[in-house]
Structures are given as C-alpha cells and as structure tokens.
C-alpha cells in the first residue's frame, strides 16, 4: 500500500453507498487503514472492505444507527479499537428529506437532525482525544450546497447542512491549537444510489443543463477533495467549507431572464452599451 494517506487511520461514516463508499475506497487506494460505517447498506460496505483488503490494506465495516446518540458513540469506540487510534474522521453520513415546511412532523425533524448534526458532534467528541494524542489530524464534515443556497421543500435538510457549516467553523477555531484541522465539503449535484431510487431512473443527463461546467459530479470528485483536506497538502486550510459543485452556487438562477428581456445594465454610463 502506498499513497499520500499511507498508514493513516480513518473512520468514514455512511460508507455503504455513494459518496461515503467511494471516499472509503479512495482512502484505501491511498494507503490508509479504514473503518467503514453503515446503517442499512451492509453489502455495499462489506464489498468495499473486500476491495481494500484485496489492495493489501486494512479495513472493517461497523453497523450503527446514528439516530441514536449511544450508537454513534459505540461506533466511534469500535472504530478506535479496530484502528488502534485515529488520524482522520470523515463525517459523511446523512439523510435527506423533501417536504413542505408546514407538513413536517417533530419526529421527522428529529430524525434528520439526529443523523445529520447530532451524530457528527458526538462522534467527533468521542474520537477527539485519540486524534489529539496522535499529534493532531483532520476532520472533514459533509455539508451540501443546500446549506448555502435555498431550494423549496428542504427546510429541514438545509437547516442541518447550514448547521454543519457553522459548527465546522466553530470547532475549527477551538481545535486548531491542538493540531486538529476541521473543514467541510459542500457537494453539488452528484447522483448516487439514493437519488436513483427516488427518481426511478439513473439518467440524470438533464442536470447538465443546470450546471455551468456542463456535467454532474461523481462520488470520486468528492472523494478526491476529501483526501486533499485530510492530507498535509491542505495543512493551512482550517475552518473552511469547500464547495464542489461545478459552478452551481456561483450562477444566478435568473441570469438568463436578463438576456430574455433584453436588459442591458450600464446603458448610458458605460461606454459601448
């Protein structure tokens, strides 16, 4: 095993499918020892473990229900026992929900916040002493462009992703003096299994029309960003949320309307307009 993460001990939550699974695999490719968490996707997590073992690496899969704080803490402790410590934590696990604000129940609200925010908080709290005793390390929290921009029907989900950005910034300031760097990644459109199931199709080609770069991202695009933030290549990046979205959040959604109505701002006081 070789690579920029050689010998690093890593926990990736939510690694049975999608971004988490590809991130765990990429850590394995880069030489890390990996504990993969899953809640439901046992087959995906265990097949990823097999792939890492075939590379000559070290990996295991651990099941835990992150809706329950005691399960989050147990996961963290089992990962520490398996790895013998920890250098990198990737808080990737999360669940989404699209529902009009007025129809959200307290139970639904608690479910999404417990998994997306509360679990991240207490997993890090549990593994922090080990990361500090290792001389420092890196924590990467997965947020979303929904934490930065609004989209109808995402009042609960967007709230959790905004909270992740805020507590990433706060924890980064608290923990940086101990050599623990905390950052976040906010992915844009990256179709994965859950989207395929929700949409009933794997054809997301129409997304390209909505993304300035002309294509949707892949789990590997996000995984490589996470590897960068986990490595010493990013040693001076602290408390940041890195947006990986093909330019989506940089685009004004009504910009085409300017052209459609022939609006030319600056006319009369900017030469040539």
Catalytic amino acids? 143-144, 157, 161
Alpha-carbon gap, residue 246 to 255, rounded angstroms: 17
Q: Which two tokens stand for residue 96?
A: 């989404």
Alpha-carbon gap, residue 10 to 140, rounded angstroms: 11
How does strand 59-63 pair with strand 180-187?
unpaired
- What does DSSP assign to residue 17? S
Alpha-carbon gap, residue 187 to 241, rounded angstroms: 10
Give the contacts of 264 (CB within 8 A, at least 6 positions apart). 273
Q: Say if residue 259 is exposed, middle or buried (CB neighbours under 10 Å; 0-12, 13-18, 19+).
A: exposed
Q: Compute CA distances 218 → 192, 197, 204, 267, whole Å.
A: 8, 17, 12, 42
DSSP-derived 3-state class of residue 132: helix
Residue with tokens 């010998």: 7
Q: Which residues of 20-57 are buried (b: 16+ CB within 10 A; e: fewer)?
A: bbbbbbbbbbbbbbbbbbbbebeebbbebbebbeeeeb
Alpha-carbon gap, residue 182 to 53, rounded angstroms: 29
DSSP-derived 3-state class of residue 111: helix
């Amino acid at each position: 095993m070789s690579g920029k993460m050689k010998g690093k001990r890593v926990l990736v939550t939510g690694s049975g499918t999608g971004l988490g699974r590809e991130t765990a695999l990429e850590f394995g490719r880069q030489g890390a020892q990996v504990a993969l968490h899953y809640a439901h996707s046992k087959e995906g997590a265990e097949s990823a473990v097999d792939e890492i073992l075939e590379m000559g690496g070290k990996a295991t899969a651990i099941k835990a229900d992150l809706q329950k704080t005691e399960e989050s803490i147990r996961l963290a402790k089992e990962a520490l026992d398996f790895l013998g410590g920890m250098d990198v934590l990737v808080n990737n696990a999360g669940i989404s929900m699209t529902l009009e604000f007025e129809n959200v129940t307290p139970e639904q609200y608690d479910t999404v916040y417990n998994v997306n925010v509360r679990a991240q908080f207490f997993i890090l709290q549990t593994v922090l002493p080990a990361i500090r005793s290792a001389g420092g390390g890196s924590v990467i929290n997965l947020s979303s462009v929904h934490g930065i921009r609004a989209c109808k029907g995402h009042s609960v989900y967007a709230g959790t992703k905004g909270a992740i950005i805020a507590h990433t910034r706060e924890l980064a300031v608290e923990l940086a003096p101990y050599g623990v760097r905390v950052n976040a990644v906010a992915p844009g459109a990256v179709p994965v299994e859950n989207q395929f199931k929700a949409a009933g199709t794997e054809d997301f080609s129409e997304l390209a029309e909505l993304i300035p770069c002309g294509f949707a991202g892949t789990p590997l695009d996000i995984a490589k960003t996470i590897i960068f933030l986990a490595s010493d290549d990013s040693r001076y990046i602290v408390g940041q949320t890195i947006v990986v979205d093909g330019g989506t959040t940089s685009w004004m959604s009504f910009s085409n309307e300017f052209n459609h109505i022939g609006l030319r701002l600056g006319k009369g006081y900017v030469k040539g307009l």
